[in-house]
């Protein structure tokens, strides 16, 4: 992150810290653990949204449907709304008289998260098609090319979908029920997918992808390396 000045990865780091502390803090109590596990993927998703916007910027694509800056803003706002609902729901579920309200808020938060991510994937698909129609970008090859990052985004989308549907089913079943009381489900359908997502974002790091794209764009236009878009 520091080497490539890709500060957007701070969101990923925050998400990883929350995930790790959540799954290794069993003695802290189920309530605290639940809050951390629920909100961690929201930060990880934010890094994905912002990195996609950054990729479009480096590919000199100003909009797909609407302005790319507005796209990131709307998705992050959706995540913030989901974050607020889920945290409030977990807190209310810890209060005996408000379990049903808390459950409803958490489920609503997960639905917002799923819908938001589905919209994001539709945008990624649209962006993929748009970039493929441009001659310069379509010829780009290599491990850190934009094509590699789009492949990574599709895999990440599937993993996020699995995780969010699992949590939706878990809280739909109810606080303290079978899935909630068996940690193996959380490790398989939450911890594992998020671990793979983080690994993908490190292996296909946006900072390296941006640098490769900038170099390619500069060479394609006959500019000195690093001068594209200035």
> Can you give the residue range of the structural domain that contains 92?
9-221
Residue 174 lies in a domain: yes
Residue 229 lies in a domain: no
Take residue 165 and report the two structure tokens written for it: 């549907």
Residue 123 lies in a domain: yes
Residues 149, 52: Cα–Cα separation, whole Å? 9
Residue 1 lies in a domain: no
Residues 70, 54: Cα–Cα separation, whole Å? 12
Global pTM? 0.82
Residue 105 lies in a domain: yes
- Contact by Cβ (8 Å): 193, 170: no
Is the predicted pLDDT of residue 230 greater than 60, yes or no? Answer: no
pLDDT of residue 34: 66
Residue 119 lies in a domain: yes
Take residue 69 and report the two structure tokens written for it: 């800056």
Residues 108, 89: Cα–Cα separation, whole Å? 9
Residue 2 lies in a domain: no
CA 100 to chain centre: 28
Each residue's pLDDT tens digit, 170-191: 888 876 778 878 888 888 998 8
Q: Is 64 helix (H, G, I), strand (E, B) or coil?
A: strand
Domain count, the chain: 1
pLDDT of residue 192: 93
Residues 121, 109: Cα–Cα separation, whole Å? 19
Lowest mean pLDDT among 8-22, 62-76, 92-106, 111-125: 62-76
Residue 183 lies in a domain: yes
Residues 102, 119: Cα–Cα separation, whole Å? 26
Each residue's pLDDT tens digit, 121-174: 888 888 888 887 775 666 677 778 888 899 999 999 999 999 989 988 888 887
Each residue's pLDDT tens digit, 64-100: 755 666 676 777 788 888 888 888 887 777 776 667 7
Average pLDDT over residues 104-131: 86
Phi and psi at residue 67, in whole multiples of 5°? -50, 135
- Left if phi > 0, otherwise alpha if psi is -120 to 50, otherwise beta: which for 174? left
């Amino acid at each position: 992150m520091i080497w490539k000045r890709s500060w957007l990865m701070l969101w990923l780091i925050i998400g990883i810290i929350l995930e790790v502390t959540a799954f290794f803090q069993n003695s802290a109590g189920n309530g605290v653990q639940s809050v951390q596990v629920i909100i961690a993927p929201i930060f990880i998703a934010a890094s994905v949204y912002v990195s996609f916007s950054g990729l479009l910027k480096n590919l000199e694509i100003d909009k797909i449907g609407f302005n790319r800056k507005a796209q990131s803003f709307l998705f992050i706002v959706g995540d913030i709304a989901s974050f607020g609902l889920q945290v409030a729901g977990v807190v209310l579920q810890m209060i005996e008289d408000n379990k049903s309200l808390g459950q409803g808020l958490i489920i609503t938060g997960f639905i917002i998260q799923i819908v938001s991510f589905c919209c994001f994937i539709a945008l990624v698909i649209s962006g993929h098609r748009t970039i493929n129609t441009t001659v310069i970008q379509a010829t780009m090859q290599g491990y850190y090319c934009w094509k590699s990052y789009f492949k990574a985004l599709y895999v990440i989308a599937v993993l996020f979908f699995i995780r969010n549907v699992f949590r939706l089913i878990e809280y739909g079943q109810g606080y303290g029920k079978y899935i909630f009381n068996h940690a193996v489900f959380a490790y398989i359908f939450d911890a594992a997918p998020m671990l793979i997502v983080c690994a993908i974002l490190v292996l296909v790091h946006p900072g390296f992808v941006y640098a490769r794209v900038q170099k390619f764009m500069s060479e394609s236009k006959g500019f000195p390396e690093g001068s594209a878009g200035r």
